[in-house]
């Protein structure tokens, strides 16, 4: 096969994979939103706050449970079955060790927040580490083989069944234990589906198998993830320790309504982009083109959606959460933070595909320090101040992140800055249109206001197509999506 044919094949695989994975994630987003809508009406802010307290601390173990080995397996140029089995046992063993550590640390976590109920909660949630550790290499294998349909099936079934179980438990008075059940059931179902769909069982661990490269990559990436974790969860820890479970539960609902679905939408793009970029990393021109198109795809879809949410936050929150949750201001600020994150997200693909985990760790340390400073300053003004600090940190961080990656690769950041500027124009225009519409319809039922805001935002988006660079970006995105759909249908 010629080089050009191989590149075209990779492009088609990436496009098809992107459509499949994003389609699966679309279903997951619906499940996530349904979870927020349904369970928020059955549980209290304190229920959510207690579980969020545990997750803010013990979820750090997820970093060490994976140890970066999933990504190491995906980006490796060659992976034998013996290496794959050894990686499976490493992840499973780390998961078991961390589960035992979480059980031992449960009283300390309860003491940190001065909440005795957290002891039993922490012990119950420790089992997730074992389940997730056993599933890690199955998911990595499906990604590496570009079996995105199977991966999407596993990732849709798990949250769907978990939500059904949690809803039943909450409706029958389980309180915060319903949220614990949801977490554990989701991990168990994800393991079952991923293992079945991957279609293999690990062999016994073997000595003499080359593992050093995986461990070096994983250790370096885990260090980066640990730093990033601390920065991303400092807001929850500060709110929980200084403002209490009720305030943390309120903040957590805003986060779950927006940032969790956003992460679920962005994560699959890495699933698709990483194996492709890993194969073309020796071709700077092709890498540049792929990254620019990736930024366009993320910005003109997710970025525009975030602008809409920021502008119409009040009616959206009233519609989805009901009048008991006053989180519209927090949601709008988090939408701004999510937009700034999205502008720089493609740089993360490049770090991983090129194996630049040390450089990624150095940058993450700088960015995390900035985030901590902003959030610590903001917590003095309550949960809204925390959201302001979080959004400010990402506003300052995104241009720095693109410049930083250009120092160690041949990626040209000028086109990426220009692309980001166009995305900000689109998102800002959509946000302004939606906000003006929401203000004009103030007092109307949110079931009426939200659809009108969506139509107003869509109209503003359409008007921007008169700007030639924006029109070219949108047409490029349309052609990519149309090509992916056409090839998938013909293949099916």
- Range with top average pLDDT, 29-43, 233-247, 324-338, 467-481: 324-338
pLDDT of residue 27: 77
- pLDDT number for residue 385: 92
Tell me, what's the pLDDT at 363? 84
State whether residue 411 is helix, strand or coil: coil
CA angle (489 as vertex; 483, 491 as ends), nearest 5 = 100
Residues 306, 308, 311: CA angle, nearest 5 degrees: 110
The reported pLDDT for the residue numbered 75 is: 67
Label residue 224 by pLDDT band (50, 70, 90).
low
* SS3 assignment, position 42: coil
Which residues 6+ apart lie within 8 Å of 189 measured at CB?
Answer: 157, 158, 161, 162
The closest of 169, 186, 188 to 177, measured between CA atoms, is: 169
Question: Does residue 441 contact residue 452 with C-beta atoms inside 8 Å?
Answer: yes
pTM, full prediction: 0.69
- What does the pLDDT read at residue 485? 46
Q: What is the pLDDT of residues 248-261, one digit of tens each?
A: 888 888 888 888 77
Least confident of 35-49, 50-64, 426-440: 50-64
Query: Hey, where are the domains in the chain?
Result: 21-210, 245-492
* pLDDT tens column, 408-456: 888 888 888 999 999 999 999 999 999 999 999 988 999 999 999 999 9
CA distance 230 to 151: 29
Concatenating the DSSP letter of every residue in 130-163 gives HHHHHHHHHHHHHHHTT-HHHHHHHHHHHHHHHH
pLDDT interval class at 1 (50, 70, 90): very low
- pLDDT interval class at 351 (50, 70, 90): confident
Cα gap 164→151, rounded to integer Å: 21
Quick one: residue 164, left, alpha or beta (phi over 0 = left, psi -120 to 50 = alpha)?
alpha
Query: Nearest Cα to 297, choosing from 483, 487, 478?
Result: 478
Structure tokens at 3: 């080089």
Q: Which distant-in-sequence residues (6+ apart) come within 8 Å of 77 by Cβ?
A: 278
Residue 345 pLDDT > 90, yes or no?
Answer: no
pLDDT band at 489 (very low <50, low <70, confident <90, very high): very low
Contacts of 458 (CB under 8 A, 6+ apart): none
Average pLDDT over residues 143-156: 77
CA 168/CA 110 separation, integer angstroms: 27
Please name the residues in contact with 181: beta carbons below 8 A apart, sequence gap of 6 or more: 162, 165, 166, 169, 174
Residue 94 sits at the vertex; the CA angle it makes with 89 and 98, to the nearest 5 degrees, is 150
User: Is the confidence at residue 179, as pLDDT, over 80?
Assistant: yes
d(CA 269, CA 8): 19
Question: What is the three-class DSSP state of 126?
Answer: coil
Rounded CA gap, 391 and 384, in Å? 11
What distance in Å separates the CA atoms of residue 75 and residue 220, rounded to the nearest whole number? 14
123-127, 308-312, 324-328, 355-359: the lowest-pLDDT one? 355-359
Residues 6+ apart with CB under 8 A from 317: 254, 257, 325, 327, 328, 331
Note the pLDDT tens digit of each residue in 271-284.
Answer: 777 777 777 777 88
């Amino acid at each position: 096969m010629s080089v050009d044919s191989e590149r075209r094949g990779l492009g088609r695989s990436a496009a098809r994979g992107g459509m499949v994975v994003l389609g699966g994630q679309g279903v997951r987003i619906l499940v996530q939103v349904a979870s927020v809508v349904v369970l928020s009406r059955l549980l209290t802010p304190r229920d959510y706050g207690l579980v969020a307290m545990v997750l803010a601390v013990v979820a750090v173990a997820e970093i060490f449970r994976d140890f970066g080995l999933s990504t190491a397996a995906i980006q490796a140029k060659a992976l034998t079955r013996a290496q794959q089995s050894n990686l499976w046992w490493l992840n499973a063993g780390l998961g078991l060790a961390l589960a035992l550590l979480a059980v031992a640390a449960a009283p300390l976590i309860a003491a940190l927040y001065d909440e005795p109920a957290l002891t039993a909660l922490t012990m119950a949630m420790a089992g997730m580490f074992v389940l997730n550790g056993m599933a890690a290499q199955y998911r990595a294998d499906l990604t590496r083989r570009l079996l995105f349909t199977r991966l999407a099936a596993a990732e849709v079934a798990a949250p769907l069944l978990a939500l059904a179980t949690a809803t039943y438990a909450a409706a029958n008075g389980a309180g915060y234990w319903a949220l614990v059940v949801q977490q554990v059931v989701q991990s168990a179902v994800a393991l079952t589906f991923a293992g079945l769909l991957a279609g293999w069982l690990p062999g016994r661990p073997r000595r003499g198998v080359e593992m050093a490269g995986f461990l070096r990559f994983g250790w370096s990436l885990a260090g980066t993830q640990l730093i990033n974790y601390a920065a991303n969860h400092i807001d929850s820890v500060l709110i929980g320790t200084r403002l209490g479970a009720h305030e943390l539960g309120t903040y957590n609902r805003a986060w779950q309504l927006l940032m969790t679905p956003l992460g679920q939408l962005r994560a699959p793009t890495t699933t698709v982009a990483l194996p492709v970029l890993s194969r073309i990393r020796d071709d700077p021109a092709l890498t540049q083109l792929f990254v620019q198109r990736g930024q366009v795809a993320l910005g003109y879809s997710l970025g525009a959606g975030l602008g809409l949410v920021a502008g119409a936050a009040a009616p959206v929150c009233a519609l989805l959460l009901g009048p008991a949750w006053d989180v519209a201001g927090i949601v709008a600020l988090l939408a701004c933070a999510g937009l700034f994150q999205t502008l720089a997200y493609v740089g993360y693909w490049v770090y991983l595909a090129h194996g630049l985990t040390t450089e990624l760790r150095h940058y993450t340390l700088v960015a995390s320090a900035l985030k901590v400073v902003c959030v610590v300053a903001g917590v003095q003004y309550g949960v809204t101040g925390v959201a302001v600090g979080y959004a400010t940190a990402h506003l300052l961080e995104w241009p720095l992140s693109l410049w930083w990656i250009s120092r160690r690769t041949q990626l040209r950041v000028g086109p990426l800055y220009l692309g980001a500027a166009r995305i900000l124009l689109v998102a800002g225009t959509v946000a302004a249109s939606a906000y003006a519409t929401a203000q004009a319809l103030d007092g109307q039922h949110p079931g009426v206001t939200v659809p009108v805001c969506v139509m107003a935002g869509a109209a503003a988006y359409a008007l921007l197509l008169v700007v030639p660079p924006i029109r070219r970006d949108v047409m490029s995105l349309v052609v990519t999506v149309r090509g992916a759909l056409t090839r998938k249908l013909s293949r099916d």
